[in-house]
Amino acid sequence: MIKVGIVGYGTIGKRVADAVAMQKDMKLTGVTAHSYSFNTEVANEKGYKIFTVGDDGDLKLNGIKPAGDINNLLEEVDIIVDATPKKVGKENIEKYYKPKKVKAIIQGGEKHETTGTSFVAQCNYDEALNKDFVRIVSCNTTGLCRTLHALNKFDITSVHATLIRRGADPGDIRHGPINAVVPVLEMPSHHGPDVRSVLPKCQIFTTALSVPSTLMHVHTVIADVKKKVNVDDVIDALSSATRIRIVRNAEHLRSTAEIIEFARDLGRQRGDMPEICVWKEAIGAVSNGYNKLLYMQAVHQESDVVPENIDCIRAMTGFKDGQKSIEMTNKSFGIK
């Protein structure tokens, strides 16, 4: 049993905790809390051990009995999944994980250079084998890597993607925009270079905008490819890859809202959709002197990286068969 601790129990941390608890080869040792909230309350109700970071007065006042502090957690685990806010992951490596000699996974808010290894299971599982520190790339980068990796059988020469990003997560009451489209005024947006941290040969250029929606990101992607392709080839390539779902206008999955409603109806925990959803009717292929692919995909920012964290735990703790790990993880999520 791989003993796993979660540091940072927010959007990603709480999902990874539940996913670890579902794996037959893993044990959730505990999660951290730096203050009291409904997140801590739910963790407590689920029977997860809670370890404090900093002052524990707030927790005790609210009837939570901590199992110890973060140092106690580190003594009991094989690996930490750090899902703290941007930049804290890097600090925690220096402050906690290196001194305590504990392996750790950090998330996509951190820089590639912090670990030297960035991870998307179906693209580069082997690179994470037995590593001490690995970074899971962001939700957007994960989404781009999954589909571009599947489509690289057509020899992609260059990619341009526009990322229409949800402005804030559903539970976020602080951020916007409420009524604006906000372009990322840097060219390219950081997502393009970030894809290359997993797919180093991918020539990709990205532009990004934020919009007033909370549910999912949407990407429009154009790829120049060497091989002649048609729409059915693209559908086949995407369908046969893992963690990608073809959704259809015909089944009334015409928007991010309907995809998330579908996930809720499927009984997915928290209404999550960890698969990247590609709209069948928005897949295009042009062979007109040059060969181009076009598609649109929706990315559930809260959950697509969760299975990646699980596979990365296995890789870093020495489980060599990436394909098998992906199958085990998928089975626990009920995805293909």
CB of 138 vs a copy of itself, minimal distance in Å = 18
Q: Residue 218 interacts with a copy of itself (CB under 8 A)?
A: yes
Q: Which two tokens stand for residue 316?
A: 């870093």
Cis peptide before 183 (omega within 30 of 0): no
Q: Residue 335 interacts with a copy of itself (CB under 8 A)?
A: no
Binding to a copy of itself in span 270-289, by CB under 8 A:
279, 281-284, 286
- In the bound state with a copy of itself, the residue whose beta carbon lies nearer, of 129 and 182, is 182
Mask 182-211, x = binds a copy of itself (CB under 8 A)? xx-xxxx----------------x-x-x-x
Of the candidates 301, 296, 219, which has an alpha carbon nearest to the alpha carbon of residue 260?
301
Written as one string, the DSSP assignment of 36-76 is -SHHHHHHHHTT--EEESS--HHHHHTT----EEHHHHHHH
- Cα–Cα distance, 247 to 162 (Å, whole number): 20
Q: Are 225 and 157 in contact (CB under 8 A)?
A: yes
Of the candidates 168, 320, 297, which has an alpha carbon nearest to the alpha carbon of residue 243?
297
Catalytic hit among 139, 145, 202, 277: 139
Stretch that binds a copy of itself, among 19-27, 95-103, 180-188, 313-321 (CB under 8 A): 180-188
In single-letter form, the type of residue at position 130 comes to N
CB of 188 vs a copy of itself, minimal distance in Å = 8
Cis peptide before 188 (omega within 30 of 0): yes
Q: Residue 318 interacts with a copy of itself (CB under 8 A)?
A: no
Q: Residue 164 interacts with a copy of itself (CB under 8 A)?
A: yes
Q: Which of 193, 212, 235, 242 binds a copy of itself (CB under 8 A)?
A: 212
CB of 325 vs a copy of itself, minimal distance in Å = 32
| 139 given a catalytic annotation | yes
Of the candidates 118, 119, 122, which has an alpha carbon nearest to the alpha carbon of residue 244?
122
Mask 45-84, x = binds a copy of itself (CB under 8 A)? ----------------------------------------
Of the candidates 321, 226, 12, 228, which has an alpha carbon nearest to the alpha carbon of residue 139?
12
Q: What residues line the site for a copy of itself (CB under 8 A)?
A: 160, 162, 164, 166, 177, 179-183, 185-188, 205, 207, 209, 211-216, 218, 220, 222, 249, 254-258, 279, 281-284, 286, 294, 296, 298
